[in-house]
């Protein structure tokens, strides 16, 4: 197997003997001159047919989280009655990694979509609860029960038919609002957000859920108001951008985002700005 590009110290892009492209992970695979041959004994896991947009995501994901997510994916494939697309391990790894970061920072979010997900996707939700138990054992950290919802929705969005945005409840204009908000971010920070990147796909998915909550008059309910004030000071520019977004949503849809929703927006917009080099 030939390594053609380094993704990070533990992940590389390869081609096999038949010329198929894949991602290989293993300790230290990213070191050394390129191109070069590596043996199967050096590789811990391979991933075929992963969309190139997800290669960037792999750069920031810890090896142990990717391996863990891959094992979860194997189990999910046996439990679900539909096929999952090849990107699902990286979707799960990214979600789990970010969830662990939130808990370590003391950010706890209770999602109002939890009941809907339990009713609409009981198998996926049950798997999400199972994943939380495995995360506690593997990483010695307890994630809130609500994270099972996020894991379940990642599976729903990873059906083999493709990565599709979650659909709303009939409210038109989600796509237009998404583009409006992205343009506000671009103009405020003088950046170009790449619409075909993994980071944008993740950011867009979270905004779609926010739109659903806003249009259904549901709010995130948590105890993070002190944290919101702290993050407003720490990320003052992002918070100011979020205020512009809040006013835009109020102007177009007639509703104002709660402080909890603005906290969530600060986290996700700060994340996409970091990925764009700010």
Q: Do 108 and 142 fall within a single domain?
A: yes
Same domain? 105 vs 40: no
Q: Do 124 and 185 belong to one domain?
A: no
Q: How many whole angstroms separate alpha carbon 65 and alpha carbon 68?
A: 5
Chain segment 4-36, per-residue pLDDT in tens: 999 999 999 999 999 999 999 999 999 999 999
Q: Note whether residue 102 is domain-resident.
A: yes
Instruction: Assess whether 223 and 145 both reside in one domain.
Output: no
Q: What is the CATH number of the domain that holds 90?
A: 1.10.1790.10
* Number of domains comprising the chain: 3
The answer to which of 86-100, 125-139, 202-216 has the lowest mean pLDDT is 202-216
Each residue of 73-123: pLDDT tens digit?
999 999 998 899 999 999 999 999 999 998 998 887 666 567 667 877 889
Provide the pLDDT for residue 264: 83
Q: Is residue 164 part of a domain?
A: no
Domain hosting 14: range is: 2-48
Asked whether residue 72 falls in the same domain as residue 146, the answer is: yes
């Amino acid at each position: 197997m030939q390594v053609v590009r380094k993704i990070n110290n533990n992940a590389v892009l390869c081609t096999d003997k038949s010329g198929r492209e894949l991602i290989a992970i293993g300790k230290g695979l990213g070191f050394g001159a390129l191109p070069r041959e590596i043996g199967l004994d050096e590789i811990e896991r391979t991933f075929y047919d992963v969309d190139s947009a997800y290669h960037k995501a792999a750069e920031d994901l810890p090896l142990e989280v990717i391996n863990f997510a891959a094992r979860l994916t194997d189990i999910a494939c046996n439990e679900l009655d539909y096929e999952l697309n090849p990107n699902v391990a990286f979707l799960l790894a990214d979600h789990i990694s970010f969830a662990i970061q939130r808990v370590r920072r003391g950010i706890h979010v209770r999602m109002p979509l939890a009941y809907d997900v339990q009713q609409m996707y009981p198998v996926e939700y049950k798997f999400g609860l199972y994943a939380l138990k495995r995360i506690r054992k593997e990483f010695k950290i307890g994630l809130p029960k609500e994270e099972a919802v996020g894991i379940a929705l990642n599976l729903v969005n990873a059906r083999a038919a493709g990565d599709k945005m979650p659909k709303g409840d009939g409210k038109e204009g989600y796509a237009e609002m998404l583009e409006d908000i992205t343009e506000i971010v671009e103009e405020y920070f003088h950046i170009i957000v790449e619409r075909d990147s993994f980071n944008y796909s993740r950011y867009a998915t979270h905004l779609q859920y926010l739109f659903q909550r806003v249009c259904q008059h549901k709010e995130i309910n948590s105890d993070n108001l002190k944290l919101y004030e702290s993050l407003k000071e720490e990320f003052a520019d992002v918070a100011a951008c979020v205020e512009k977004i809040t006013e835009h949503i109020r102007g177009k849809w007639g509703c104002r985002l709660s402080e909890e929703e603005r906290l969530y927006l600060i986290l996700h917009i700060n994340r996409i700005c970091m990925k764009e080099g700010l």
